[in-house]
């Protein structure tokens, strides 16, 4: 019998499957969509560093731990599969123009330094020195100052998923393209999941269905809020790469790729389960690129796409055993940081599923914890991001 069935073939499901298979378990992944239809494929792959000090929140600790794991996983994946997931410590510029935007950046930089993070405040002239391609924005006052995080990393999500999938298969994981339609349960445990292709049974089950996890959890009597939050992205093909670093500008960003492509993102929208692009959003993103880089972005628009982030009410993912079910686990609700937090989530989940002592305190992520709607939204919650996206000038 299969040891573990994972429902979901995004970065969370595949990372957990890889980790479990690496510990010698027989694993099957059930995934409804092709890889490129997942939020994981659609993501930008920006990994802003987080100081892991005594004041760090549980979410920050998971991110910091995952950040370190990513460096190891990238090497392992390259050795195992020959695929380079393009994890690069390229550094990240965080730039602004409005008085309010610069105040926010100054406060963020001060907090960084207080917490021991590496962070350099830069004038417009210094930003131009680092990234000459931003001259058009600097000359027009579109960028007035900002800070640089030398430890910010980026990764190319489609390459990472390809590498994870190949590594999983090499470790003996079966990946079945099928939708889960229902769950059979009895005597305090799950006895099988009902799919289009029949019932699949295993000793343990892990639900990692991204933005669709709320519906799956509800069928198990668990209230987990995974609100889908749409993000749209435009990919430009430039004659040659003009940036060396990630550029963060309010909620928007530019991410350079090794092959000369430039990713421009993103929107933060409550649009239900419609993972589609809109002409307005694509036009807005192209405008952001033009404001920052000038005519260089008159280059070809190669692709535009949208993905659904699995948002959570309190800004934390849910990772752990489902209450009252001995053999059922859930890993979902990673919102804007799922790519970044995926290796830590995988190791933690594998610890919990195998009964090993957890490498990381899972209490803050427990399924069934109270996530109060209303009140002041925590800074990483869906509500906080939606509010910022609607009002914040860079």
Residue 49 engages ligand FAD in binding (rule: CB under 6 A): no
- Answer for which of 6, 19, 20, 32 binds ligand FAD (CB under 6 A) is 32
Q: Indicate the angle between helix axes 338-354 and 11-22, nearest 10 degrees.
A: 40
CB of residue 37 to ligand FAD, shortest distance in Å: 7
Q: How far apart are CA 348 and CA 154, in angstroms?
A: 23
Dihedrals phi, psi of 323, to nearest 5 degrees: -55, 145
CB of residue 125 to ligand FAD, shortest distance in Å: 29
Query: Hey, how many other C-beta atoms are within 10 angstroms of the C-beta on 214?
Result: 21
Nearest of 129, 137, 131, 61 to residue 96 by alpha carbon: 137
- Give the residue with the Cβ less far from ligand FAD, 13 or 315: 13
Residue 332 engages ligand FAD in binding (rule: CB under 6 A): yes
- Give the residue with the Cβ less far from ligand FAD, 179 or 271: 179
- Answer for which of 33, 76, 80, 120 binds ligand FAD (CB under 6 A) is 33
Residue 16 engages ligand FAD in binding (rule: CB under 6 A): no
Which residues ranging from 218 to 257 are in contact with ligand FAD (CB under 6 A)? 231, 233
Q: How far is CA 270 from CA 111, 230, 273, in A?
A: 30, 6, 9
Please give the sequence-ordered ranges of beta strands (E in DSSP) within 273-370, or none if there are none: 300-311, 318-321, 328-332
Contact range with ligand FAD by CB under 6 A, out of 11-19, 125-133, 217-225, 353-361: 11-19
Residue 285 engages ligand FAD in binding (rule: CB under 6 A): no
Which residues ranging from 91 to 120 are in contact with ligand FAD (CB under 6 A)? none
- Answer for which of 135, 179, 194, 271 binds ligand FAD (CB under 6 A) is 179
Residue 6 engages ligand FAD in binding (rule: CB under 6 A): no
Residue 183 engages ligand FAD in binding (rule: CB under 6 A): no
Contact range with ligand FAD by CB under 6 A, out of 7-15, 117-125, 276-284, 347-355: 7-15
Q: What is the DSSP letter of 385?
A: H
Dihedrals phi, psi of 169, to nearest 5 degrees: -60, -40
Paired tokens of 63: 């991110």
Q: How far apart are CA 231 and CA 314, in angstroms?
A: 19
Residue 30 engages ligand FAD in binding (rule: CB under 6 A): yes
- Give the residue with the Cβ less far from ligand FAD, 144 or 309: 309
Residue 347 in contact with residue 202, Cβ under 8 Å?
no
Paired tokens of 152: 């910010």
The residues, any chain, with a CB within 8 Å of residue 57's CB and separated by 6 or more, are none
CB of residue 123 to ligand FAD, shortest distance in Å: 27
Between β-strands 202-207 and 2-7, what pairing exists: parallel, antiparallel or unpaired? Answer: parallel
Enumerate binding residues for ligand FAD (CB under 6 A): 7-13, 30-33, 38-40, 42-46, 179-180, 208-212, 231, 233, 265-266, 307, 309-310, 332, 334-340
């Amino acid at each position: 019998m299969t040891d573990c069935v994972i429902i979901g073939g995004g970065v969370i499901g595949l990372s957990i499957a890889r980790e479990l298979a690496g510990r010698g378990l027989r694993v099957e992944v059930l995934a409804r969509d092709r890889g490129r239809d997942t939020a994981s494929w659609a993501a930008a792959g920006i990994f802003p560093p987080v100081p892991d000090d005594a004041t760090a929140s549980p979410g920050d600790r998971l991110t910091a731990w995952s950040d370190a794991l990513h460096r190891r996983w990238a090497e392992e994946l390259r050795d195992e599969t020959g695929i380079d997931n393009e994890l690069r410590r390229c550094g990240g510029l965080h730039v602004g123009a409005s008085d309010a935007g610069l105040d926010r950046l100054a406060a963020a930089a001060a907090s960084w330094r207080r917490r021991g993070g590496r962070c350099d405040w830069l004038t417009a002239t210094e930003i131009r020195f680092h990234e000459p391609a931003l001259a058009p924005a600097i000359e027009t006052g579109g960028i007035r100052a900002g800070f640089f995080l030398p430890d910010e990393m980026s990764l190319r999500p489609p390459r990472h998923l390809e590498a994870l999938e190949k590594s999983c298969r090499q470790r003996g994981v079966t990946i079945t393209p099928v939708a889960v339609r229902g769950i059979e349960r009895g005597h305090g445990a799950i006895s099988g999941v009902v799919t289009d292709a029949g019932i699949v049974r295993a000793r343990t089950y892990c639900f990692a269905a991204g933005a669709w996890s709320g519906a799956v959890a509800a069928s198990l009597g668990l209230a987990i809020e995974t609100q889908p939050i749409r993000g749209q992205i435009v990919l430009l093909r430039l004659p040659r790469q003009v940036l060396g670093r990630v550029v963060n500008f309010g909620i928007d960003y530019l991410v350079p790729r090794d092959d000369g492509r430039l990713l421009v993102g993103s929107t933060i929208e409550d649009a239900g389960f419609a993972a589609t692009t809109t002409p307005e959003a694509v036009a807005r993103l192209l405008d952001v690129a033009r404001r920052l880089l000038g005519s260089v972005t008159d280059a070809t628009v190669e692709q535009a796409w949208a993905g659904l982030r699995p948002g959570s009410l309190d800004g934390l993912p849910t990772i752990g055993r489902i209450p009252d079910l001995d053999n059922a686990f859930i890993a979902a609700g990673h919102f804007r940081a799922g790519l970044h937090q995926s290796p830590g989530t995988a190791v933690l989940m594998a610890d919990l599923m195998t009964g090993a002592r957890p490498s990381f305190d899972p209490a803050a992520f427990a399924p069934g914890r109270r996530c109060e709607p209303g009140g002041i939204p925590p800074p990483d919650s869906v509500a906080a991001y939606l509010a910022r996206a609607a009002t914040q000038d860079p």
